[in-house]
Amino acid sequence: MKSHSVYLHIPFCRHLCSYCDFNTYAGLEEHIPAYIQALCTEIEFVAEYCEQQIPVHTIFIGGGTPSILPVREFGKIFQTISRVFDIQEHVEITIEANPGRLSYGYLKSLRDLGINRLSLGMQSAIPEELRLLDRQHDNYRTEKAVNDARRAGFGNINLDLIFGIPDQTPLSWQMTMDLALSLNPDHFSLYSLSIEPGTPLNDWLGEGLISEPDSDIAAEMYELAEARLHEHGYQQYEISNWARKGDGLGLMSCQHNLQYWRNLPYLGFGAGAHGYAGENRTVNVSRPDRYIEKLLSSEVDSSQNDISYPSTPATTRVTVISQAEEIKETMMMGLRLTGEGISRREFHSRFGTSLEEVYGGEIEELLGLGLLEWDQVTSERLRLTPKGRLLGNQVFQRFI
Ligand code: SF4
């Protein structure tokens, strides 16, 4: 059986940021113990209904704010996971955290539990930008979180940064990059702000209180970041992600996210979590109270005989993925990988047909537009050009 990744969703935050449209809720912390019990029940359900013990090489605890959980709740999760899955020797275990409330003691406890990668939502170093985004931390807390994490033994730290914030300038972005680089993280994820319906930021935009981010300035910031990160020895491996070389000189890429971009199987547990396993894409019920009810109510016991892997009592949608769809998804996600791209050989061995047979016309056209290129040494890998990275959506549309 192929090795899987595991995603665990923790849908709780102390406070909602102004741009956030993730599946997360403030003020529901009292439900945390029941939620973790439900999460462990869901994990056990999948393990029990799968014929073999599933090999797992990455675990990602995302949210929400997973660092809102008391350490004992992580203990329960890891006891369950290590009992039911076949955890691989060099498993990568990531936790997302907000810099605001982390302490050395808390980080050390997480590290002792085996969590070995920390992803911090720094977002910006400019106080006005952090205020606009309604983030609950400042630069002192970010620097302290990174230093405490290093002392606690985290050898793999990611910083998330946002560009394209209203009224952000190339100069303020440069200042954010400078502070972030001075913290010497192992990995960067840079996101272009997208203002989503239903968020306070969208309301403020509608009321004329803030101005629409300028896409040309955002593109300038992206190019500036590419140059700065390159100067500092970080290598881009995905449209929004950069990593530096580790001690073994391999790139410290996020192995969990690589599983998504390579369109390989992962199990998603928790409210609103998505999964992709056994040729099915699954989606769970979004609200934490409904999730708890579905997994812990007695009615589940009587009806669960009808539910089979990879579905669980919390699954609300299952989509069977045909080979044609799998090919499209593999192209869309694989082309995000700026170095690796799509391998001709791997494509053929996975789908039994060649890249040119399926997409000859589209590839020729995109090569002609300067948006795609074959790697120069072997012509084995098809990938985005620097121009293609800026216009990624135009490329991906051709493969839908
Ligand atoms: S911390 Fe993250 S998940 Fe929570 S509200 Fe802010 S952006 Fe959303």
Task: Note the pLDDT tens digit of each residue in 58-115.
Answer: 999 999 999 999 999 999 999 999 999 999 999 999 999 999 989 999 999 999 999 9
Residue 274 forms part of a structural domain: no
Q: Which residue from 9, 13, 15, 25 has its CB within 8 A of the most atoms of ligand 1, so it is best to mutate? A: 13
Check pocket membership of 374 for ligand 1, CB cut-off 6 A: no
**CATH number of the domain that residue 352 is part of:** 1.10.10.920
For residues 127 and 253, state if they share a domain. Answer: yes
Residue 376 forms part of a structural domain: yes
Q: Which residue from 14, 15, 16 has its CB within 8 A of the most atoms of ligand 1, so it is best to mutate? A: 16
Taking the model in full, what pTM does it have? 0.95
Nearest alpha carbon, ligand 1 atom 8 = 20
Question: Which residue stretches of the chain have pLDDT < 70?
Answer: 298-305
Q: Which amino acid is at 175?
A: M
Question: For ligand 1, what atom is nearest to the CA of residue 63?
Answer: 3
For residues 380 and 255, state if they share a domain. Answer: no
For residues 78 and 167, state if they share a domain. Answer: yes
Residue 311 forms part of a structural domain: no
Residue 270 forms part of a structural domain: no
**Quick check: 2 and 262 in contact, CB under 8 A?**
no
**Residue 26 CA to ligand 1 centre (angstroms):** 10
Q: Which residue from 12, 23, 65 has its CB within 8 A of the most atoms of ligand 1, so it is best to mutate? A: 65
Q: Which residue from 9, 15, 20, 135 has its CB within 8 A of the most atoms of ligand 1, so it is best to mutate? A: 20
List 120's β-bridge partners, or say none: 97, 159
Check pocket membership of 396 for ligand 1, CB cut-off 6 A: no
Nearest alpha carbon, ligand 1 atom 3 = 64
For residues 255 and 160, state if they share a domain. Answer: yes
For residues 218 and 331, state if they share a domain. Answer: no
Task: Note the pLDDT tens digit of each residue in 297-351.
Answer: 855 554 566 777 888 999 999 999 999 999 999 999 999 999 999 999 999 999 9
Check pocket membership of 10 for ligand 1, CB cut-off 6 A: no
For residues 108 and 26, state if they share a domain. Answer: yes
Burial class of residue 360, CB neighbours in 10 A (0-12, 13-18, 19+): exposed
**CATH number of the domain that residue 141 is part of:** 3.20.20.70
Kindly write down the DSSP assignment for every residue of 277-338, as one continuous string: ETTEEEEE-S-HHHHHHHHHSHHHHHHGGG--TT--TTEEEEEEPPHHHHHHHHHHHHTT-T
Boundary of a domain, candidates 260, 288, 312 = 260
Boundary of a domain, candidates 260, 284, 302 = 260
Q: Which residue from 10, 15, 17 has its CB within 8 A of the most atoms of ligand 1, so it is best to mutate? A: 17
pLDDT at 301: 55
Question: For ligand 1, what atom is nearest to the CA of residue 134?
Answer: 6
Check pocket membership of 65 for ligand 1, CB cut-off 6 A: yes
For residues 84 and 172, state if they share a domain. Answer: yes
Mean pLDDT of the residues in the chain: 94
**Residue 400 CA to ligand 1 centre (angstroms):** 31
Question: For ligand 1, what atom is nearest to the CA of residue 135?
Answer: 6
Please count the structural domains in the chain.
2
Check pocket membership of 34 for ligand 1, CB cut-off 6 A: no
Residue 297 forms part of a structural domain: no
d(CA 270, CA 10): 7
pLDDT at 310: 83
Check pocket membership of 11 for ligand 1, CB cut-off 6 A: no
Residue 123 forms part of a structural domain: yes
Kindly write down the DSSP assignment for every residue of 118-177, as one continuous string: EEEEEE-S-HHHHHHTT-S--HHHHHHHHHHHHHHT---EEEEEEE--TT--HHHHHHHH
Boundary of a domain, candidates 260, 279, 304 = 260
Nearest alpha carbon, ligand 1 atom 2 = 64
Range of the domain at 75: 4-260
Check pocket membership of 63 for ligand 1, CB cut-off 6 A: yes
Nearest alpha carbon, ligand 1 atom 6 = 17
**Quick check: 47 and 85 in contact, CB under 8 A?**
yes
Residue 286 forms part of a structural domain: no
Residue 232 forms part of a structural domain: yes
For residues 245 and 118, state if they share a domain. Answer: yes
For residues 206 and 57, state if they share a domain. Answer: yes
For residues 333 and 207, state if they share a domain. Answer: no
**Residue 39 CA to ligand 1 centre (angstroms):** 20
Check pocket membership of 20 for ligand 1, CB cut-off 6 A: yes
pLDDT at 302: 46
CB burial readout 219-241, b (16+ within 10 A) else e: eebbebbbebbeeeebbbbbbbb
For residues 16 and 131, state if they share a domain. Answer: yes
For residues 142 and 251, state if they share a domain. Answer: yes
